[in-house]
Every structure is written in C-alpha cells, then in structure tokens.
Amino acid sequence: MPSDTNSGAAATAADDSMRAENRPFVPALIVVDMQEDFCPPNGSLAVQDGRTIAPLINDLLAKPGFVTRVATLDWHPADHISFAANHPAPNNKPFVSLIEMKNPAPGKAFETKPQRLWPIHCTADSHGAALIPEIESNRVDLLVHKGQNSQVEMYSAFADAFGNHGLTGAGGSVDVDLASELRTKAVTDVFVVGLAGDYCVKSTALDAVKAGFRSWLIEDGTKCVVPADWDKTKEELCAAGVVVIHANDAVIMR
C-alpha cells in the first residue's frame, strides 16, 4: 500500500477514536519558518519549491476553526553555532559537516550532540529572516522567534535541541514558551506546516507530542531539504505518534 494511503487511514482511525471518546478538539495551526532564507530564488538555505506552499498555508490560516494561528521564525545571532562560517576549516562545510554541540543549560555541558552546519541564514532582523510576503501574516496571532542562543540549535518551536524550553529572555533561545501559550488557550491538537519538513517542521511536530498535544503534520503544506528521505522521516514521525495527513483531510475542520 502506498504510504499516502497509510497516512490517510491513520488520520481516519484517529478521527474515529476521537469521536468515540468524545474528546475535546481545540486545534491550533503552527506555520513554521516561512522565511526568505528558506525560499527560492534568493534564500541562503532555500528549500526546493518552498515558496509554492504559501497558497495552501493561506487557505489554512483563513479557516475559522483554529483557536490560534502561530508563525515561527528562525532568528539567529550572527555568531550562531549552526553557521558553517563560524567554524574553522576543514570541518565547516555547509549541509555536510557535523560539529559537537553542548547542552547550554547550567551544569549540563557534559551532554553533547552532533550539530549539522548550515549556510548563514535567518540572522535576526535581516531580510532573509523576514516572513515571505505571500503569507497572510495579518491572520497570525502569535510569532515565535527561535534559535536566539548562539550556543545551541533550535529546530523545534517548543524546545532547543536538548529539550530545554521556556528559555525566554536574555541568553535564552526563544521569546515565547509555546507549550504554555497553547495550554492557556486549551489547545488539544496542533497542525504543523511550513519549512523545512525534515528539520524544523519535523522537530516541532515531534515536540508537540512530547508536550502532550495531539500532533498532525500536513504533508502537502511542507517541503524538505532532502525530499528523497521523506518516506523515512514519515516513518519516524508515525512511530513517535505524529499523524501525517493532507490539507483536505476532513479531520482538520470537523
């Protein structure tokens, strides 16, 4: 069976089980990193066809059912650890090289992770960090600026690469504790779209599960850095409890 059919079946099953439980359904939309640097033709980390998903995302933003619509922005200082240019040769090849990153939380520096290096992108307040103008930003209720701590990567809108969250303010990675914001609005389900499917969208959908939300990834509302690996990524998402669906699946706005 093609995997598309699988994900559709999973969505239907999940939908049926929600009805059976008569469980509350309070959906939020999270639009991830629809920024100039992730889009052709000029983005420094352009994802192929990244701009083409804007109309679908605008249709979702216009749906009345979402209790809140969040847009995230990758928002890095110039000395960010993920920028290849901030590391010495020869291990500083964008998209390729991995370096060792330490947990920035107090007393946790012994915890390390491999960090992929990227071209300079989404430097705070730069043109590359701007939301692309195609996105109807007037419908966005909350902006989340993430990746602000120079010492750590933050793909997910919920937490940095080590799971630290709520790191608002000076030295922190993010200006909003997204899980708390969503809980304040009684959100039960998050629907995730944007860029890139295999990095920030994936991490955001996975962390939504960890934070206790039902997590749905709308696959026609995303594009990947490495599209060929999407089937494998979907398996990972599915194993973690994220349901991969399409924008026209009925579950979104029942």
Which position's Cβ is nearest Zn ion? 74
Alpha helices, H only, 42-126: 54-62
CB of 59 to ligand VGL, least distance (A): 21
Closer Cβ to ligand VGL, 192 or 245, answer by number: 192
Among 199, 213, 216, 230, binds ligand VGL (CB under 6 A): 199
Which of Zn ion, ligand VGL, none sits in contact with 33, Cβ below 5 to 8 A by type? Answer: ligand VGL
Write down the least CB distance from residue 41 to ligand VGL, Å: 18
Q: Of the two residues 71 and 244, which places its CB atom closer to Zn ion in the complex?
A: 71
Q: Which amino acid is at 197?
A: G
Taking the complex as a whole, the smallest distance from the CB of residue 196 to Zn ion amounts, in Å, to 10
**Choice from 66, 118, 216, 230 touching ligand VGL (CB under 6 A):** 118
The residue whose two tokens read 């500083």 is 92
121 and 43 in contact (C-beta within 8 Å)?
yes
Query: Number of H helices and number of E strands within the chain?
Result: 5, 8
Residues of the shown chain interacting with Zn ion in the complex, contacts defined by CB under 5 A: 74
Residue whose entry in the numeric block shows the structure tokens 């902006």: 143
Q: Which of 144, 196, 211, 217 binds ligand VGL (CB under 6 A)?
A: 196
Q: Which stretch binds ligand VGL (CB under 6 A): 18-26, 49-57, 195-203, 229-237?
A: 195-203
**Residue 216 parent element (H or E):** strand 214-223
Q: Nearest approach, Cβ of 97 to Zn ion (angstroms)?
A: 15
CA distance 197 to 252: 19
Residues near 52 by Cβ (< 8 Å), separated by ≥ 6?
223
Question: In the range 150-189, which residues lie near ligand VGL by CB under 6 A?
Answer: 155
Residue among 162, 176, 134, 173 nearest 28 (CA): 176
One of 15, 33, 160, 189 touching ligand VGL (CB under 6 A): 33
Buried/exposed 34-59: b ≥16 CB within 10 Å, e otherwise: bbbbbbeeebbbbbeebbebbebbee
74 forms part of the interface with ligand VGL (CB under 6 A):
yes
Chain residues binding ligand VGL by CB under 6 A are: 33, 38, 45, 74, 82, 118, 155, 195-196, 199-200
